[in-house]
Amino acid sequence: MRENLFWTNATHVVSAIGQAPGDTNPPPAIPLTNFPGNVECEPGFRDAAGGDFRLLPEGAAARGAGATVALPLTSPWPLQPEEAAIVPDEDTRDSRAWKRPRGG
């Protein structure tokens, strides 16, 4: 991993593989010093709490690290039959609302 922007939000993407069941200790954070060009900072979203993740022009991410344009929520490609069989009909990101395959 190099030349990425990591949001300073106290959440680190780490692997808990090998962690004992019931261990409530958080996995260790990955130090960025071993990965050249990475930046850890507040990216400068317009209104993250309100769901507006557009970048402020003066924010760190807009200065060249990370994605400068938010991806649209809609896809230009239609769902494939195997996707339509499991994706919920309503607009939700809750995986518990996914359709269950027959017999599964």
List, in sequence order, every residue forming a beta bridge with 6; answer none if it has no partner.
Answer: 40
The answer, yes or no, to whether residue 35 has pLDDT greater than 70, is yes
The pLDDT of residue 3: 74
Residue 70: predicted pLDDT: 64
Structure tokens at 9: 């939000």
> pLDDT tens across 42-79, in order?
888 888 888 888 888 887 776 665 555 666 777 788 88
Confidence (pLDDT) at 103: 57
**What confidence category does residue 25 fall into, taking pLDDT thresholds of 50, 70 and 90?**
confident
pLDDT score recorded for residue 1: 66
Which of 20-24, 72-76, 87-91 shows the lowest per-residue confidence on average (mean pLDDT)? 72-76
| pLDDT for the residue 44 | 82
